[in-house]
Amino acid sequence: MPANILLVEDEPAIQELIAFNLSQAGHHVMRADSAESAQNIVRNALPDLILLDWMLPGMTGIDFAKKLRAEERTRQIPLIMLTARSDEQDKVIGLETGADDYITKPFSPRELQARIKAVLRRRAPQITDDTVEVQGLRLDPATHRVTGNGDTIDLGPTEFRLLHFFMTHPERVHSRAQLLDHVWGDHVFVEERTVDVHIRRLRSALESTSFDRLIQTVRGTGYRLSAHNN
C-alpha cells in the first residue's frame, strides 16, 4: 500500500536513511527539516501520514503535532512521532498530543514499516490493499477490480478512489472539502464542483447493478455511502 508520507526530520543522515527505506517500500516521500517547512507542505496537500521528529529546530515536533490536531483540516492525519527519548513520561506526552504511535530511535526499517502499516490500516483504511465489501458490492484495491454481485463494474481512477474512500468510511457524511482532501489529496486547487461531477460518474457506473442507491446526497452537507435508505 503505497502512501504519501511526509517526513519531518532535521538530521540529514537520518532523514536520508528513512526516506530511502520508505521509497524502497514503495511510498512516496516528501521531506521537511523543520515544522515550519512541513507546515507549508501540508498547506498545499494533505499527506497520508506524517513521521514527525520530536526534537526540531524552531517549532518542536510536539508543538507541531498539537497544531495539526487543533485544526479541522489536519486533525485526522495519521501521525507517528520519532524520538531519541525512550522515557515513559515522554511517551505519554507524545501520545497525549494526538500522535497515533511513537517510535524510539534507533529503530529498524522493518519496525518502521510495521508501525506505518498498522497506523494506516487503523486510521486510513482507504489506502490499504484490503478488499472491502458492502452488500455485494466488492472492491479489491490490489487488482483494481470492482464487482456488484459478481458483475464487473468499470470505473475511472478517480471514481475508483472515491468509491474506495466511501466504502472504507461507510455511513458517515463527508463534505465536498473533506472528499477533496481525502480522495484528491488537495482541497486548495480543485473546485468543489469537481466532486459533484465524479459523484455523478460514479453513480452512473454503478447504475446497472443498482448499487448507485448506496451513494446518497445529504442536502446541504455532502455525500455518504449508506446501506440504509436515508
Footprint of Ca ion (CB under 5 A): 10, 53, 55
What's the closest the beta carbon of residue 117 comes to Ca ion, in angstroms? 24
Minimum CB distance to Ca ion smaller for 2 or for 20: 20
Q: Of all residues in this chain, which one has the CB nearest to Ca ion in the complex? A: 55
Of the pair 33, 100, the CB lying nearest Ca ion is at: 33
Contact 172, 224 (CB under 8 A): yes
Q: Which is nearer to Ca ion, 10 or 36 (CB)?
A: 10
Q: CB of residue 32 vs Ca ion: minimum separation in angstroms?
A: 12
Residue 54 beta carbon to Ca ion: minimum distance, rounded to whole angstroms: 7
Q: Which is nearer to Ca ion, 55 or 190 (CB)?
A: 55
- All three cell numbers of 201, joined, read 460518474
CB 11, min distance to Ca ion, A? 5
